């Protein structure tokens, strides 16, 4: 089971931008170039696919880490 989420966090945006940049560098894709040139405008067309169990584990780790600090 997975959830579909918008790409909203700074970290997710940076990761997505980096992946598309690498794709463009390796392939010369015109589509990738277009996405990079209009990144903020095309960002809402992307979704983050998050496995439900993985999300739960990551949230538990985050709670435990914040409780320690």
Query: Residue 67 — pLDDT band, cuts 50, 70, 90?
Result: confident
4 pLDDT above the threshold of 90: yes
pLDDT in tens, 7-22: 999 999 999 999 999 9
Please indicate, yes or no, whether the overall pTM of this predicted structure exceeds 0.75.
yes
Q: Which two tokens stand for residue 55?
A: 């999300």
For the chain, the average pLDDT equals 95
61 pLDDT above the threshold of 90: yes
In angstroms, rounded to a whole number, what is the distance separating the alpha carbons of residues 2 and 21?
26
Annotated domain spans of the chain: 2-68
In angstroms, rounded to a whole number, what is the distance separating the alpha carbons of residues 56 and 3?
11
In angstroms, rounded to a whole number, what is the distance separating the alpha carbons of residues 58 and 48?
15
């Amino acid at each position: 089971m997975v959830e579909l989420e918008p790409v909203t966090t700074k970290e997710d945006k940076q990761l997505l931008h980096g992946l598309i940049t690498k794709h463009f560098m390796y392939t010369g894709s015109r589509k990738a170039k277009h996405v990079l040139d209009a990144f903020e405008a095309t960002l809402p067309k992307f979704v983050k696919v998050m496995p439900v169990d993985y999300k739960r584990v990551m949230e538990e780790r985050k709670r435990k880490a914040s409780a320690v600090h």
